[in-house]
Amino acid sequence: MKIKRRRIVRSKVCQKKLLLFIFGILLLFVGCRKNPDSNLSKNNSVEEALSSFELEPGFKIELVVSEPLINDPVDMEIDENGIMYVVEMKGVPFDESGTGSIKALTDTDGDGVFDQSTVFADSLILPNGVMRWKKGLLVTDPPNVYYFEDTDGDNRADIRKIILSGFDSNDLESNVNNPLFGLDNWIYLANGLSSSDKIEYPDKPNAVQIDNSGNMVRFRPDYYDLEMMSTRTQYGFSFDSWGNRFMVSNANHIYQEMIAAQYLERNGDLLVTDAAEKISDHGSPAEVFPITKNPQNQLLTDVGVFTAACGITNYLGGAFPAGFNDNTSFTAEPAHNLVHVDNLNSTKGAAFSASRVGKNQEFLASTDSFFRPVNMYVGPDGALYVVDMYRKFIEGPEFMEDEVVKTANLYEGTEKGRIYRISAAEAAPATWMNTLDLGEATNKQLVGKLSDPNIWWRRNAQRLLLDRNAKDVVPELMRIASDSESAMGRLHALWTLEGLNELNLDLISNALIDKEPGIRENAIRLAEIHLDDFPALESELLKLQEDIDPKVRYQLISTLGFINTPEANKARQQLLFKDITDEWVQIAALTAPSFQSRSLLDAVLERYDPSIPAYDLLVQRLSGMVSAGQKPEAVRALLKKATSADENEVEWQASLLHGIAAGLKSRESIPTELKRDQGTLLFTFFEHPSISARKGALEILQIVGFSEKQSPQAIPRALEIAGNDSALPEQRALAVNFLSLQNVEPYSSFLGSLITPEQPMPVQLAAINTLSTIPDETVSEYVLQKWPSLTQELRDAALNTFLVQPFNLARVKILLDAIEKNQIQPSSLGWSRSVVLMRDIPDSLKVRSRQLLTQNEGERKDVIEEYQAALELEGDEGQGKKIFLNLCSICHTKGGGEGQGYGPNLATVRNWMPEKLISSILDPGLSIIVGYNLWRVELKNGDVKHGIISSETSDALTLSYPGGTKTVFSRNEIKTLAALNTSPMPTGFEQQITKQEMADLISYLKSQ
């Protein structure tokens, strides 16, 4: 479910009506061609939908339930008795009357397809998640988490109770969803939005309450436990077999929680802005490969990459073909009508890495634009169940063109919904629907299921044993925890014993030396819970310092932060230096109480190795902790060390200074004592041999303040350096930045004079950014004046000055005026700035912005319309390749194939709609890809060159020409530099290509 984060202040009712679809894909409608085989204009039957799929070889896909039994499904659960519960979110976009429901599905004839549907619970607003618990279900329907139970066996709930309340219910993009029972016996809730309400147990006013910071939540209703976690997700999250957690957001299809909240809470002085790590090795957003015919690509869709990632699910079913059973993660992408799969690699260190399976193709994709996979579930048969909401629109109407909202049926498809079963090609048909009876199993039989290769059986057996308080099988659980051949059996037995309050010292100690690293890792977590109960565990933990597995060592250093003994402190240091290059090991080590930070800093400085960048990062973190939390005299002492003239200390002084600056930013107030050190900081800024140290000194001056009266020669000296063409570009840029310590308006003309092609790029960048500190429109005037000569990196900085927040409406208006006058091309904005202009700026300018950025007439409208007829012709990919090689390869390549890299690699356009491809081919100026403008370079010797700037440094730039030749020019050679706001590709291509050949070329360009 795509959940673009936005916050709009309105009444609750109004906000619900405008934000709407929980998927929040933020797309705008663009016209789609009529085509005989278009899937856009109709709802496909189930048979047609099945024929639309392309699936990974070795698998098969089958339907298990569809309309009319279910509508608008978004989540599912299979209980121990074989009943499938489906969450129906029917109300989006506008219906707040309580149409949401939970359906109970059964298969009465045993054919593997559900044929009976009962409304288990109804009158829900926008329900979005379900989990089996006790004798009923937990259901998320913001702002509440409900418990429903059927007490008379008719598959209809007659108990309805609010378990938790206080979640955000105004912004329907990232609110509470997808409850899941964890290995550690806690119930976890996805969450990504904060609210002003307290999250609480409404039936227990005196129980713990937590502020809703917007992070995930875990709770244990039996004990009224409730905790906020360290990370957030959007729609969905997942665990691997060992309890590691993976989350998802719109454009980031997989990231991992790296450090838990209980560790971060130990040290308030540690500056950690994100407790998660992006683990995709193929980009974020990663490229996707849809096969949809006539896709519903809207204006703000980032086409061809993840833009609506949701429903992440680790496959732990044990029944897939080789290569898919261990550490495999699936993510749904409803905007592109597909399901993506990754393999998780655990050799990276503390974090995993995720690598896509298959090249240029997805695990599951559909030609049907109504196919909207939003969630997945591993069933008792080891199959992967895909929940398909099946709708035409999955966008918020607030982000469509008014014409579409007024004329389109936003509910088209709402009466439909499907759930598919994906299994190995040779797998037996599903038979569990009317034979599953885990609920009737004895406690001993449940214990046996803890070793099952399928997570469904392990998770439900553990849950049921705890529900039954199964003390009678404690001896058997202890036996399995100690010597079962199954690692999963040992793991789940340990946590089940923990849930039954029967775990003892011997069991934990034995698990700490288990042959399986994942068991040892979990044993450390269990030991952490029982440090007060079993003091002897400290010595057992310390024996793991030399463990061969990095993830075990990482968990150990995290847990040892709770033990304040000389032995534990020494062990943490040893673990830190052993894995110092792992950023998360550094963070885990520093979560120990902050009073140890200065002694650890001294130890790090003694070992400092300038050839290992990790030392710089560690020094910054430690000095940041000191300056964030310790007394002013301690900070001044550290500052003195960072600015001393001792040559032996120069190597790490820059890191100290940057760390001090970061720590000072986090303080509520800046100690006045630090203002006494202005002279020392100025000396460092102007004289230190390290550019990085000078930057650090400037950062501190920006925080503590600068008194020109105290140092009247500083500004003149900075002006002198900034204007000295003989000085190093980095020194000049720093001097320009120094000017912003005071009002720079008196120097605006001087700064403007630095934005010229012959000036080094760092100097020009600094001048633009410093001019932007003047609160009026001065910088905008200079940017427009200099725009033709600004290269791409400079243009990025210049465009950002128009969109500083809080928004300067005058600057935004100037930008829109420039776009309207064609001084700045819309294609120069890039996707993210276009989104800001059409989504985030004040409403007074938003309508105009959308009009400007959506008009796409061009000067060759008639030619383009004539060639749209090619869209009705069937293209031949093979012939298209010949046309590409003959007409296009002189400037372009496609992937790694034949051709030249003068123009954009045309593999990047495979996901464009055919209409856009034809328009761009016939009128290249319509959508010049960023970085491929044609430039005119006039040299001081009189020569004039035209080409694409393919690279630039502070002192030189490289011009590329058709055919692959390049020339490098020193900036000192350049007299003038101007972007021609035109594509290097000439117009008139229609004179070389027929409509059929255009159809062939489009077919080739869209091929994999």
pLDDT digits (tens, 9 = 90+) for 694-753: 999 999 999 999 999 999 999 999 999 999 999 999 999 999 999 999 999 999 999 999
pLDDT for 829 beyond 90:
no
More confident residue, 550 or 918: 550
> The tokens of 194 are what?
């904060």
Q: Which has the closest alpha carbon to 952: 757, 767, 786?
A: 757
From 321-330, 545-554, 993-1002, the region with the lowest mean pLDDT = 993-1002
Cβ proximity of 681 and 702 under 8 Å: no
Q: Distance between CA atoms of 383 and 109, rounded to whole angstroms?
A: 20
pLDDT for 926 beyond 80:
no
If pLDDT is split at 50, 70 and 90, which confidence band does 149 have? very high
Residue 19's pLDDT is: 34
Burial 599-637 (b: 16+ CB within 10 A, else e): ebbeebbeebeeeeeebbbbbbbbbbbbbbbbeeeebbe
pLDDT for 35 beyond 50:
no
Residue 717's pLDDT is: 97
Largest CA distance in the chain: 94
pLDDT for 243 beyond 60:
yes
Across the range 763-784, mean pLDDT stands at 96
pLDDT digits (tens, 9 = 90+) for 293-352: 877 665 556 678 898 899 999 999 999 998 898 789 999 999 999 999 999 998 779 999
The 3-state DSSP composition of the chain as helix, strand, coil percent (nearest 5) reads 40, 20, 45
Q: Which has the closest alpha carbon to 159: 147, 141, 168?
A: 147
pLDDT for 925 beyond 70:
no
Q: Distance between CA atoms of 852 and 854, rounded to whole angstroms?
A: 6
Instruction: Give backbone dihedrals phi and psi of 90, rounded to 5 degrees, phi first.
Output: -80, -20
pLDDT digits (tens, 9 = 90+) for 477-487: 999 999 999 99
Instruction: Give backbone dihedrals phi and psi of 438, rounded to 5 degrees, phi first.
Output: -60, -30
pLDDT for 268 beyond 90:
no
**Can the peptide bond before residue 826 be classed as cis, meaning omega within 30 degrees of 0?**
no
Across the range 245-257, mean pLDDT stands at 95
If pLDDT is split at 50, 70 and 90, which confidence band does 8 have? very low
Across the range 617-634, mean pLDDT stands at 92
pLDDT digits (tens, 9 = 90+) for 83-126: 999 999 998 777 778 999 999 999 998 888 999 999 999 999 99
Residue 983's pLDDT is: 67
If pLDDT is split at 50, 70 and 90, which confidence band does 14 have? very low
Percent of the chain whose pLDDT exceeds 90: 62
Between the two ends of the chain, the Cα-to-Cα distance in Å is 26
Percent of the chain whose pLDDT exceeds 70: 89
Sign of CA dihedral 187, 188, 191, 194: positive
pLDDT for 508 beyond 60:
yes
Residue 92's pLDDT is: 76
201 CB-near residues (< 8 Å, 6+ apart)? 163, 164, 207, 221, 224, 226
Across the range 434-440, mean pLDDT stands at 93
Residue 981's pLDDT is: 63
Cβ proximity of 447 and 120 under 8 Å: no
pLDDT digits (tens, 9 = 90+) for 789-826: 998 889 989 999 999 988 999 999 999 999 999 898 88
**Can the peptide bond before residue 179 be classed as cis, meaning omega within 30 degrees of 0?**
no
Residue 131's pLDDT is: 98
If pLDDT is split at 50, 70 and 90, which confidence band does 24 have? very low
Amino acid identity, residue 25? Answer: I
Residue 891's pLDDT is: 76
More confident residue, 951 or 215: 215
pLDDT digits (tens, 9 = 90+) for 653-668: 999 999 999 999 988 8
pLDDT, the chain, mean: 87
pTM of the complete model:
0.86
Q: Which residue has the tokens 């000095």?
A: 623
Residue 978's pLDDT is: 77
User: Rg of the chain's alpha carbons, rounded to an integer?
Assistant: 31
Residue 165's pLDDT is: 96
Cβ proximity of 299 and 28 under 8 Å: yes
